[in-house]
Structure 1
Amino acid sequence: MASIVRLFLDHPLAPAQSVPLSQAQAHYLFGVMRLSVGAELRVFNGQSGEWRAEVELAGKRRGVLRVVESTRAQQDPPDVWLLFAPLKKARTDFIVEKAVELGAARICPVQTQFTNAERVRQDRLQAHAVEAAEQCGGTFVPPVEELQRLDRVLADWPADRLLMFCDESLAARSSVLSSLLADGGESAVRVDDAGKVEEGRKDRGDTPGPWAILIGPEGGFSEAERARLSDLPFTRAVSLGPRILRADTAAVAALTLWQSIYGDWR
């Protein structure tokens, strides 16, 4: 049995509502997937869960769907961002796709000293994130931000968000993350009224605070970047094992590790 088609719609969804399709969406549904009037599909807008819809009008360049009923409530991912240095086109696409599948809440390309790509097409990467959400059954589409310099991102960093800094120089050592989980607790950061960062512990049953994961470029972080990251109060240096991973592999490994310990895989 063929799997049912899922489509992201940038439109409010409600029962009996008619939603016009873009030319690209009409081509996909009627030219590629060969749907016809009366065919059922699932639609979502990233905010209102998943809905059953039917094809009301099918044309070569236009179409209309009729929303029927809600089939699944909205499910947002845990509050974890993925920051990564862009790679070659196909590998950057891979990182965005896997970040969506693994439940990143925000995807942030960053430019480091050794980043090869000086420009990314944010609109193309956002479209790729939409396609990944359609394929993986998610109801949330993470925003893909414009490329920013790492130093600027760190300067504007929210004080309550921890940053898991994947440091390839720690590959031969034990994972720092394991020490954060000693005695079954999790490391927590609190910021008092004076702006001072205080470390504490919280039980595994508590909802984890906001996190982010930082993956470096193919050449790794520069010594200056590594030193600055190590000095910041909100960063946690983490080893991803005894072998140095490719950047795209590291992104998948780090998100998997975080989700299994702090996120919705627990």
Structure 2
Amino acid sequence: MSALHTLPRLHVSVGETLVAHADLPMTPEQARYLGTVLRRAEGDEVRLFNERDGEWLARIAGVRKDKGCFTVVEQLRAPAPEPGCVLVFALLKRDSTDLVIRMGTELGVSRFVPVITERTVSGRVKSERLESIATEAAEQCERLSVPVVEAPVRLTDFLGAWPADFRLFVAVERQIAQGEGPVAFAGARVGDGVLIGPEGGFSAGELDVLRARPFVTPVTLGNRVLRAETAVTAALALFDSQLRNA
């Protein structure tokens, strides 16, 4: 058997059940990746996973062009909770949005909600592309779940639908926090959200709307001006630290 950490690791839809001796079809993308890119063949081992069934060792029963099949062998990891936050972020340019999805997945985000603000630079995304990036990041970083990527929504509509019993930590301009916002996301819990605004920050009207929401908790990420992608990374690392140390 090859060292497990060197084996290809692929996400399997919860529509397919991972259980010993089961035969599972490959998706066309998986078949092309294993057969054409990695040059794997019948009998080679892989790891398959999903949130419901955990992670399993499997063998390639056959692969050709865009078709193939796995035979499941044994369980390697049992399913386990993977607590994280809801990341709400103003849509950025394509490469930056891709980076947010990738880094957010690696840092434990459970759900992504792209929002459209007054200063959003792009309001169009390909949801399938972002879902694919999240899946690839989950495969790479060893998590069992793939975060949900929701369709873009206007900020005001999002705020109207946010559950009032969960906090929404908002990284805001320093003049709003004025030293009163917790730097380290004190009291963060599973299900809370983190909101990162667009390049240039929120408009004055949006800040007024945020102030009026009782579930909004302003936070500061320090005294440096951060790019939106950097702010996402900093906020998620701080949130995750609070969650783990609670």
C-alpha change, 1:53 and 1:209, in structure 2 (3 Å) is closer
C-alpha change, 1:150 and 1:212, in structure 2 (3 Å) is same
C-alpha change, 1:142 and 1:258, in structure 2 (3 Å) is same
Equivalent-residue separation in structure 1 for 2:184 and 2:105 (angstroms): 28
TM-superposed deviation, 1:59: 1.1
Equivalent-residue separation in structure 2 for 1:75 and 1:141 (angstroms): 13
TM-superposed deviation, 1:47: 2.1
Structural mapping, 1:98-247, within 5 Å: 98-170=103-175, 173-174=178-179, 176-178=181-183, 181=186, 186=187, 208-247=189-228
Map Cα deviations across residues 51-70 of structure 1 (whole Å, 9 max, x no partner).
11100012122110011111
Map Cα deviations across residues 78-114 of structure 1 (whole Å, 9 max, x no partner).
2410000111111100000011000011011000111
Equivalent-residue separation in structure 1 for 2:94 and 2:184 (angstroms): 36
Consecutive unaligned residues of structure 2, counting only runs of 5 or more, are none
C-alpha change, 1:241 and 1:225, in structure 2 (3 Å) is same
**Matched-pair contact (CA < 8 Å) for 1:40–1:53:** yes
**Matched-pair contact (CA < 8 Å) for 2:91–2:198:** yes
Residue 93 (1) aligns with residue 98 (2): yes
Corresponding position of 2:9:
6
Aligned residue identity for 1:141: V
Equivalent-residue separation in structure 2 for 1:234 and 1:161 (angstroms): 7
Structural mapping, 1:53-64, within 5 Å: 53-64=58-69
TM-superposed deviation, 1:77: 2.4
Consecutive unaligned residues of structure 1, counting only runs of 5 or more, are 188-207
Equivalent-residue separation in structure 2 for 1:238 and 1:132 (angstroms): 27
Aligned residue identity for 1:246: R
TM-superposed deviation, 1:239: 0.6
**Matched-pair contact (CA < 8 Å) for 1:87–1:217:** yes
Structure 1 runs (4+) greater than 2 angstroms displaced: 168-175, 178-181
**Matched-pair contact (CA < 8 Å) for 1:171–1:243:** no
Q: TM-score, normalised by structure 2?
A: 0.92
Residue 73 (1) aligns with residue 78 (2): yes
Residue 33 (1) aligns with residue 21 (2): no
**Matched-pair contact (CA < 8 Å) for 2:55–2:78:** yes
C-alpha change, 1:59 and 1:226, in structure 2 (3 Å) is same
TM-superposed deviation, 1:168: 2.4
CA RMSD of aligned residues (A): 2.0
Corresponding position of 2:244:
264
Q: Identity rate of aligned residues, in percent?
A: 39
**Matched-pair contact (CA < 8 Å) for 1:170–1:239:** no
C-alpha change, 1:265 and 1:63, in structure 2 (3 Å) is farther
**Matched-pair contact (CA < 8 Å) for 1:170–1:238:** no
Equivalent-residue separation in structure 2 for 1:139 and 1:25 (angstroms): 17
